[in-house]
Amino acid sequence: MIGEQPKGGIYNIDGDHPCEREHLLIDLAYDSSRFKDILSLWTSLRTENALPTKSDFSPHAFNRSALPYLILIDVEHDPLRFRYRLTGTMAESIQNANLTGHYVDDQEPIKLRDLLQTDLEELVRSKTPQHVRLTFTNIAGYPRRLQILRLPLSKNDQESPGEVDHILVVVQFESGE
């Protein structure tokens, strides 16, 4: 097992845009063909003192069919914020919008935003991958059920090899695609 899984199980909120998150064991991500190659690459590059870098995950590093399902998030420190650097075309259908350039803390619905913010803050702190299932209704009213793999990445320099500067997200729709 790569890292300890967060505790708390399912986070469920009622309201206009219900949102539920379930933490899944990271080892279960290997059961997904979309997640397996990317997680295997991340694991092979991870060392005790350094995270894989963004450049380790060029489009040539894994199956090109995964590209539409990828999201790259930049981590800004002080204050801690998360900005969508790149969203694949299929990932855009999560919210029915291109989120590139937008911040997670500006996102709606609010309940989903709060869940994402909490998860991403935990990922930066723990420096370990996350495998979650999200079930929610997006701002346009469309139901979504997804499995998501999030991988912490560092900069390409030696000054902060263990600091999370980017998060690679891989999306797999279970329903609502």
Q: What is the pLDDT of residues 75-114, one digit of tens each?
A: 999 999 999 999 998 877 777 778 899 999 988 778 888 9
Q: Where are the alpha helices (DSSP H) in the chain?
A: 33-45, 89-92, 110-126
pLDDT tens by residue, 110-149: 888 899 999 999 999 999 999 999 998 877 788 889 999 9
Integer Cα distance of 119 and 115 in angstroms: 6
**Residue 42 in contact with residue 152, Cβ under 8 Å?**
no
Distance of alpha carbon 159 from alpha carbon 17, whole angstroms: 42
pLDDT at 10 over 70: no
Can you list the domains of the chain with their CATH numbers? 22-175 (3.30.450.20)
DSSP-derived letter for residue 42 is H
Q: Buried b vs exposed e over 13-52: b needs ≥16 C-beta within 10 Å? A: beeebebebebbebeebeebebbebbbebbeeebeeeebb
Kindly report the pTM of this predicted structure: 0.86
Q: What is the pLDDT of residue 16?
A: 57
